[in-house]
């Protein structure tokens, strides 16, 4: 079997067999296929697509490239959540400690920044000392002791996806539904979880700009998870503007902690309650989403999630004092205010432009292997629906390196669109797809 033949077959619209996809994945994981050939295959798959069977084969190959955690000795159902990627999306840092405080167990493999979107692992690494490179034995031990653990993909867990994930980020093949589905589902299955809540972002800040594409991806994930013997729910949430006010790793950790203190932005709190309640339903802790929200609101008021976050940070080697002293988080050496040049109501904040601005400031990776600046990013001072006068600050840029500052500033300025009348804001949650959803392959 020759790699070039498989690249050609997919380039010309052919359908690959399970054996062919497994060969590609395992050979690349072992280093027998160079980056440039895998990049060519990814682009061919991006342009020609992969059908459901090919997506299932790819997911299975990802899983079999490493070991699968056996969590059967941990009591109860293990639940997880995963976002398809957004701007300012720090929900994991709020939802996980909250649902664990409610009695759930969460074992999560998370990723790094991908394109213009942030990554949970990069956010957690902005906490001094926090370890994300956990061995499978450590993952199980922490899950048993604390109830929650968040780790990056190790050399033993889904190594194929880890390599390909980094390659997609720098080859313009990120926003491809089958590749997104395989990447996400393989990690969920490999970490031994029983049920998953998917947060599928819809809008300019996600990889799926329209509701129809997001719905197809959500349905595919729910069905695919079921074929691996698990249960899933998909929540389609709005990503036309950044979630919350902060974009950037340490800045988002700060906002997540404030949220667990009861001082979070309204949109972030609303989405966290929706995702968390669905997780509690799947885990069998509450009978309905409404009951789950009531439970989580109570825990939020009692700051139970904040204490659980402290336990999680301590268990993974981080400094738990950050939950009480936000000054312990990395802080940029310089800031720049971006001011409005006109008056009016903000009718739109293009989330992708904001994400790309944070990327240029150092919060993400322009090239494979780039180091992320944990302090870089930006803070929005206004949101959609707010009235702005000329000269008011729209956003504050945080940076240590000014190399791309002018370009980032321009992106932020052009991200804001105004109207004379207050805009009609779309719902934060568009739709929830249940575990009972059925679809033809």
pLDDT the model gives residue 209: 80
Residue 191 has pLDDT above 70, yes or no: yes
Residue 240 pLDDT exceeds 70: yes
Task: Report angle CA 223, 295, 329 to the nearest 5 degrees.
Answer: 85
Buried b (16+ CB within 10 A) or exposed e, 94-111: bbbbbbbbbebbbbbbbb
Whether residue 205 is predicted with pLDDT greater than 90 in this model: the reply is: no
What is the rounded average pLDDT of the residues 281-288? 96
Residue 371 pLDDT level (bands cut at 50, 70, 90)? confident
- pLDDT bin (cut points 50, 70, 90) of residue 441 is very low
The answer to the question of residue 117 being in a domain is yes
Domain-embedded: residue 65 = no
To the query of whether residue 10 is one of the catalytic residues in this protein, the response is no
Name the active-site residue from 10, 56, 78, 82.
Answer: 82
pLDDT at 59: 96
What pLDDT sits at residue 109? 81
- Note whether 297 and 351 are same-domain residues: no
> Beta-carbon neighbour count of residue 217 at 10 Å?
25
Domain contains 64:
no
- How much is the pLDDT for 114? 66
Residue pLDDT, tens place only, 384-431: 999 999 999 999 999 999 999 999 999 999 999 999 999 998 899 999
When pLDDT is averaged across residues 264-276 and rounded to a whole number, the result is 97
193 with 211, same domain: the answer is yes
pLDDT mean over 73-94: 92
Confidence bin at 118 (pLDDT 50/70/90): confident
Active-site residue, selected from the candidate residues 168, 201, 231, 293: 168
Whether residue 82 lies in the annotated active site: yes
The partner residues of 197 in beta bridges, in order of sequence, read 81, 233
Q: Is residue 58 part of a domain?
A: no
Bridge-based pairing of strands 344-349 and 387-388 is antiparallel
Query: Quick one: average pLDDT of 247-273?
Result: 97
Q: What is the pLDDT of residue 368?
A: 63
CATH of the domain at 9: 1.20.970.10
Same domain, yes or no: 135 and 258: yes
Segment 141-150 mean pLDDT: 94
Cβ–Cβ under 8 Å, residues 236 and 259: no
| Nearest C-alpha neighbor of 47 from the set 172, 214, 169 | 172
Does 271 share its domain with 385? Answer: no
Residue 308 has pLDDT above 80, yes or no: yes
- pLDDT score of 439: 63
**Based on the domain organization, do 109 and 206 belong to the same domain?**
yes
Would residue 438 count as lying in a domain?
Answer: no
Q: What is the DSSP string of 66-87?
A: S-----TTSSS-EEEEEE---S
**Percent of the chain whose pLDDT exceeds 90:** 78
Helix, strand, coil percentages (3-state) for the chain, rounded to 5, are: 45, 15, 40
- Residues 19-23, mean pLDDT to the nearest whole number: 97
Question: Could you tell me the two tokens for 394?
Answer: 């729209």
Statement: residue 276 has pLDDT above 90: yes
Residues 281 and 178 placed together within one structural domain of the fold: yes
Q: Are 313 and 345 in a shared domain?
A: no
Domain CATH code at residue 339? 3.90.1170.30
Per-residue pLDDT band for 302 (boundaries 50, 70, 90) equals very high
Q: Which tokens in the block code for residue 185? A: 């589902």
DSSP for 3-71, please give it.
HHHHHHHHHTTPPPPHHHHHHHHHHHHTT-S-HHHHHHHHHHHHHH---HHHHHHHHHHHHHTS-----
Q: Is residue 20 part of a domain?
A: yes
The residue that leads in pLDDT, 111 or 276, is 276
Catalytic hit among 65, 151, 183, 332: 183
Is there a single domain that holds both residue 321 and residue 359?
no
Determine the pLDDT at residue 30: 94
Report pLDDT for 440: 53
What pLDDT does residue 187 have?
86
In a domain, 353, yes or no: yes
Kindly report, residue by residue over 419-438, the tens digit of the pLDDT.
Answer: 999 999 889 999 999 887 76
Q: Are residues 309 and 217 in the same domain?
A: yes
In this structure, the answer to whether residues 33 and 84 fall within a common structural domain is no
The CATH code of the domain that includes 235 is: 3.40.1030.10
Mean pLDDT of the chain: 93
pLDDT beyond 90 at 170: no
Domain of 26? 3-49
Determine, yes or no, domain membership for 70.
no
Among residues 80, 89, 122, 161, which one is catalytic?
Answer: 161
Q: Reply yes or no on whether 340 is catalytic.
A: no
Catalytic residue among 81, 90, 108, 187: 187
Q: How many CB atoms lie within 10 A of CB 266?
A: 10
Reply yes or no on whether 60 is catalytic. Answer: no
Report how many domains make up the chain.
Answer: 3
More confident residue, 43 or 207: 43
Average of per-residue pLDDT across 368-390: 93
Is residue 301 annotated as part of the catalytic site, yes or no?
no
Does residue 250 sit in the same domain as residue 266? yes
pLDDT of amino acid 246: 97
- Domain match, 145 and 34 both: no
């Amino acid at each position: 079997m020759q790699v070039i033949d498989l690249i050609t077959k997919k380039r010309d619209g052919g359908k690959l067999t399970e054996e062919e996809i497994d060969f590609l994945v395992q050979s690349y994981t072992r280093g027998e296929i160079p980056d440039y050939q895998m990049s060519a295959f990814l682009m061919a798959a991006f342009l020609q697509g992969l059908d459901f069977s090919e997506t299932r084969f790819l997911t299975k190959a990802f899983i079999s490239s490493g070991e699968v955690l056996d969590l059967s000795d941990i009591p109860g159902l293990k639940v997880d959540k995963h976002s398809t990627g957004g701007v300012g999306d720090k929900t994991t840092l709020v939802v996980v400690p909250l649902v664990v405080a409610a009695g759930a167990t969460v074992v999560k493999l998370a990723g790094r920044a991908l394109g213009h979107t942030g990554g949970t692992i990069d956010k957690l690494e902005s906490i001094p000392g926090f370890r994300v490179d956990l061995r499978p034995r450590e993952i199980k031990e922490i899950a048993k002791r604390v109830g929650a653990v968040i780790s990056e993909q190790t050399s033993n867990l889904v190594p194929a996806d880890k390599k390909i994930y980094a390659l997609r980020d720098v080859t313009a093949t990120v926003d491809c539904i089958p590749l997104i589905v395989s990447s996400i589902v393989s990690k969920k299955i490999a970490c031994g979880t029983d049920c998953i809540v998917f947060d599928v972002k819809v809008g300019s800040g996600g990889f799926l700009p329209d509701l129809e594409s997001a719905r197809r991806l959500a349905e595919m994930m729910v069905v695919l998870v079921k074929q691996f013997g698990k249960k899933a729910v998909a929540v389609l949430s709005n990503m036309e503007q950044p979630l919350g006010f902060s974009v950037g790793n340490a800045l988002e950790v700060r906002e997540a902690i404030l949220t667990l203190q009861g001082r979070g932005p309204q949109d972030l709190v609303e989405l966290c309650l929706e995702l968390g309640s669905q997780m509690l339903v799947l885990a069998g802790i509450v009978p309905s989403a409404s009951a789950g929200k009531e439970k989580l609101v109570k825990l939020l008021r009692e700051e139970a999630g904040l204490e659980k976050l402290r336990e999680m940070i301590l268990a993974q080697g981080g400094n738990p004092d950050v939950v009480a002293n936000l000054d312990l988080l990395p802080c940029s050496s310089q800031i720049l205010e971006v001011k409005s040049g006109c008056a009016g109501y903000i009718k739109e904040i293009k989330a992708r432009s904001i994400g790309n601005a944070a990327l240029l400031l150092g919060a993400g990776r322009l090239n494979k292997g780039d180091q992320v600046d944990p302090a870089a990013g930006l803070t929005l001072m206004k949101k959609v629906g707010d009235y702005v006068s000329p000269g008011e600050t729209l956003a504050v840029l945080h940076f240590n390196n000014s190399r791309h500052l002018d370009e980032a500033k321009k992106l932020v300025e052009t991200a804001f669109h105004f109207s004379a009348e207050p805009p009609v804001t779309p719902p934060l949650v568009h739709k929830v797809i249940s575990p009972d959803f059925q679809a033809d392959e």
